Amino acid sequence: MREPPARGRRTFLKQAAALVGATRSLGGVVLPGAELPIGQAGDAAAGAAVRMRSTLPTSSEIWILASPDAGFHERWAGRELARGLRQLGVARDPVLALPAAGQPPPDALVFTLRVEAGALRHVEASEVAQQPGAGKGAGARIRITGATPQALLYAVFGFLERQGAFFGLDGGVFPLDAAARLVLPPPGEPWIDEPRFAVRGLVPWPDFLNCITVFNREDYRAYLEAMVRMRFNTLGIHVYSGLNQWTESFLSFEYGGVGHLAFTDTTATHRWGYLPERTSRFGMGSADLYDAEVFGSEATTTARNAWEAQERAQALWGEAFRYAQQIGIRTGVGFEPYMIPDEIFRATPPEARSRPSDAKTPQPRIDPESVAARDILETRLGKLLEAYPTVDYVWLWEDEGMSWASQQAKVPLSVTAFLQAHDFLRRHAPKKRLVVSGWGGVSRHFPDFHQRLPGDVIFSSLSDSLGWDPVSEEYGRLEQRHRWPVMWIEDDPAMWLPQFHVHRFAADIDRAESFGCQGLLGIHWRHRIVDTTAGFQARASWDRALKPAAVLDAYARASVRPARAEPLARALTETDRDRRILCTATGEIKGGHEQTHEYSGDYNEAFQFWNGYEPSDEVKASQAEVARALAGLAAGASSPAERERLEYLAKHVAFLVPYAESWSLAWRLHQLLQRALDLKRNGDAASARALVARDGVPLWLKLAPQVREAILAFQSAVATRNDLGTLASMHNKYERLALVRLRASMKEFLGELPDETESLFQEVRQPDPKTAPRVFLPTRPTALGKGERVRVMAVVAGGERVTRVSLVTRLGQVAPWTATAMRLRGRRTYEAELAAANAGRPFLDYYVRAAVVKADGSTAVCTAPLEAPGRHYTVTLLPTAGGPPTKPPGEA
């Protein structure tokens, strides 16, 4: 660790006095415990300091001071520090400090936030230091210094992590009990934080129902806010635009006078193995969790045609990218230049079309050297820049099919489109950088591309074999070129399964750094269930000494109380390290690549029991042990909030036990049906019928209850919009295939199904009568600017009927709670808006309360979060001063 520049206590106190006494930019506020006017000078002038009542035994108050001319990110950093201290339970009543309040009392804990360009060697580096020499009874004086405003914000989140907070894709998790003390650097021994990678971010994949495909405005905002708290600074998104209507609206374009069909997937679309299905057809009570017959992004569900779908999807992303820029996240978006929609292909001149020598090998449909190919590429690039003027990167991807084919034989990839795109950006958007990317196969072209593409083109790729293969060694041969490997936080052949890949990530992150990679990105679909791996990526991108066990321990200690933290951490570590639950990798290496099995590939029909394999007895036994261990921890939880956190994990793993068994039963039934089909085709229909009746029906009678048990386990854990998408996928593919299609297969031989199968079919699809009433918020807003509004939706599950759902809010702890009735959207989903009318306060607290009539006629009152109002959600009210944020360093 590098020693900080020397600063004495006298200098520190002089700065602190200036910050409190010379703050013409501070407005009037309430003092702790009193109701006084707030924000009298307006938000543009308020908020450079925050004063809080301390619950620590060593201090009466906590002060957070920033410079009088602090900009947006500095003032936001102060509010986030106050928010975190409050959620840690060490402070109450945060208010924006009043100039007349004077200096902090001697026993106050004082944080001073500073931006000092050049004080640290990296522009995202920061220092947290405790000033030495405080007298007896004096409170600690902590200085947090960032090399840039964004670095200061990251420093605050790093500090909160050291106090026990865990920031994940689904938001922050804080310990259930108030901290007895703060962890502070010893005097003269500051903490220096400096990132290992200048580019740190995510590549959320938009295709299935469980990911950003189904996002609306509030979902993107919450996701980006979570990214900042994880200290990520880059968001990259791939858009499909291929044949057979596999084209998404985000980068729609026109050529030759025509456009093309495009949409994002919903429960009414037909890509990725989905068949259009009304949500009201979902069994086991799941229909109640959806507000309408179609679940998906409103950009598609409210569009009347392809043009409106395009406009609304691009407006949605455009606003999200602008918000990302405001809060300090760089963005990139791109497509596969050699894949074009069917309609555009038909509009091209025949003379420009490719004539591949090998029809089995994926090839560009349009000759890359043709004039038409260039015109189409420039049209697409122009439309991208028009739709998303704030993006920092244009991301061109190798065709996915070409990449997978390259595992067997090297498939040629023309460099022409990448050269043309680079030239186009040079002429029309010189400040934007080109990224050449692809699946693992694209790295095989890096040596050639490195010689032929300009040096400012960035190279990136997913790791091969869904991340089970290590980061490609080709990254180590790119000299000074910027390179960003993309690692799999989760893989899509196991999309319904809980996935823990922390140990795998640890090795790959170290490997990427050893190759000189300046960036590191993570691909994912879901959120909360992959927080352990995503959280490790985030932290390990700063701390090279971080070990998998340490981050899993941190996750456990943030999630549950001490008595259950160590056993939870141990269970997660063993599950991750030893692959104790069903996963994609088989452990077999062929041709230098890890072999995989698709146990829930959501890009197809997912429950593909006909693939020719089944889970081993060993993994069935070990995942059952993990499920029992987690269920035991949940049963021993000391409070509803702790139980919910444990049950979220426990029920995801519990899903695996009947799911794996149902796979085996379905596989055996499939084999039997194939034998029966052979008999029937050979003219022995009677034997085929007898075989299915004698052996097939009993297999299905065992299968159906397993399907019910699996779906109910998952359904009872659903807590996020991504979970809702996963549940919809399960019903469309798992329930349909196991309970409907396999019955139809048996019926082909039997003519009519026996009464026992039909009665059981009706029985297993009934709602669970033991489901306790609950309410959850699929998305929870966490930041809001003055004058802004953001939607909150609440889903009420269980019980006979809902009588009232209220959004309850307050502006800080000294203000009273105010309840507002939420509007019914449909079925059991309600909505309301949060508004930041007066940002003179630093926070807006909220929770949802629902009254549900139970089967016995009594009324249950449910809240989200559980234990509200003692526990509640909090929105940071963003400051309004300051222009665009200082750019993070990126690849420069």
Q: Are 518 and 552 in contact (CB under 8 A)?
A: no
Give Rg (Cα) of the chain.
Answer: 28
- Average of per-residue pLDDT across 422-441: 96
| Torsion sign over Cα 111, 113, 114, 119 | positive
What is the predicted pLDDT for the residue at 98?
A: 53
Q: Over range 677-695, report the average pLDDT.
A: 98
Mean pLDDT across 66-73: 90
Which residue in 419, 495, 433, 501 sits closest to 467, CA to CA?
501
The pLDDT value recorded for residue 457 is 98
412: pLDDT confidence band, cut at 50, 70 and 90?
A: confident
Cα(411)–Cα(286) distance, integer angstroms: 45
SS3 839: coil
pLDDT of residue 127: 97
- How much is the pLDDT for 243? 79
Antiparallel, parallel or unpaired: β 393-397 and 433-437 = parallel
Percent above pLDDT 70 for the chain: 91
Segment 150-154 mean pLDDT: 97
Tokens of 46: 């308020």
pLDDT band at 139 (very low <50, low <70, confident <90, very high): confident
Residue type, 17: A
**Residue 851 above 60 pLDDT?**
yes
Query: Is residue 93 scored above 80 in pLDDT?
Result: no
Residue 8: pLDDT band by 50, 70, 90 thresholds?
very low
Better-predicted residue by pLDDT, 626 or 14:
626
- At residue 364 the predicted structure's pLDDT band, cuts being 50, 70 and 90, is confident
Backbone angles phi, psi at 718, to 5 degrees: -55, 125
Residue 790 pLDDT > 80: yes
Res. 809: pLDDT tops 50:
yes
Apex 111 CA angle, 110 and 117, nearest 5: 145
Give tens-digit pLDDT for 698-734.
999 999 999 999 999 999 999 999 999 999 999 999 9
* Torsion from C-alpha of 154, 160, 161, 163, nearest 10 degrees: 160
Longest dimension (CA), the chain: 99
- pLDDT one-digit tens code per residue, 519-562: 999 999 999 999 999 999 999 999 999 999 999 999 999 999 99
User: Quick one: residue 23, left, alpha or beta (phi over 0 = left, psi -120 to 50 = alpha)?
Assistant: beta
Distance CA 356, CA 364 (A): 8
Answer yes or no: are the C-beta atoms of 226 and 233 closer than 8 Å: no
Q: Output the pLDDT for position 21.
A: 30
pLDDT value, residue 362: 72
Task: Using CB atoms within 10 Å of the CB of residue 227, give its burial: 0 to 12 exposed, 13 to 18 middle, 19+ buried.
Answer: buried
The two beta strands, 843-853 and 859-864, are: antiparallel
Which of the pair, 426 or 812, is modelled with greater confidence?
Answer: 426
Cα dihedral: 276, 282, 287, 290 (round 10): -30
Q: Which amino acid is at 463?
A: S
Residue 16 has a pLDDT of: 39
Residue with tokens 């607290």: 845
For the cut 50, the answer to whether the pLDDT of residue 239 exceeds it is: yes
Q: What is the pLDDT, as a whole number, of residue 133?
A: 63
Interatomic CA distance for residues 47 and 95, integer angstroms = 8
pLDDT digits (tens, 9 = 90+) for 111-127: 999 999 888 989 999 99
Cβ–Cβ < 8 Å for 493, 599: yes
On the question of pLDDT at 891 being above 80, the answer is no
pLDDT of 101 reads: 55
pLDDT for 136 beyond 70:
no
Q: What is residue 360's predicted lDDT score, i.e. its pLDDT?
A: 67
Give the per-residue pLDDT at 880.
77
Confidence at residue 885, expressed as pLDDT on a 0 to 100 scale: 44
According to DSSP H, which parts of 636-782 are helical?
640-681, 685-691, 697-715, 721-729, 742-750, 755-764
Give 480-519 pLDDT, tens digit per residue.
Answer: 999 999 999 999 999 999 999 999 999 999 999 999 999 9
> What pLDDT, on a 0 to 100 scale, did the predictor assign at position 14?
41
Residues sharing a CB contact under 8 Å with residue 694, sequence separation 6 or more, in sequence order = none
All residues at 6 or more sequence positions from 741 whose CB lies less than 8 Å from its CB, including other chains? none
Looking at residue 401, its pLDDT comes to 81
- Is the bond preceding 185 in cis, omega lying within 30 degrees of 0? no
Q: Quick one: average pLDDT of 779-790?
A: 94
Q: How far apart are the first and last CA of the chain?
A: 24
pLDDT of 617: 97
State the pLDDT confidence band at 836, using cuts at 50, 70 and 90: confident
pLDDT value of position 135:
57
Predicted local confidence at residue 137, as pLDDT: 63
* Residue 37: band (very low, low, confident or very high) from pLDDT cuts 50, 70, 90: very low
Distance of CA 832 to the CA centre of its chain: 23
Give backbone dihedrals phi and psi of 806, rounded to 5 degrees, phi first.
-125, 140
Average pLDDT, the chain: 91
Better pLDDT: 299 or 786: 299
Q: pLDDT class for 849, splitting at 50, 70, 90?
A: very high
Contact 128, 141 (CB under 8 A): no
pLDDT at residue 881, rounded to an integer: 53
**Residue 26 above 70 pLDDT?**
no
Whole-prediction pTM: 0.93
Cβ pair 333, 237 in contact under 8 A: yes
pLDDT above 90 as % of the chain: 82
- Residues 82-91: tens digit of each pLDDT: 999 999 999 9
Nearest by Cα to 164 from 154, 156, 174, 172: 174
Residue 882: pLDDT above 60?
no
Which structure tokens are listed for 192?
């220096």
- C-alpha angle 843-846-849 in degrees, rounded to nearest 5: 170
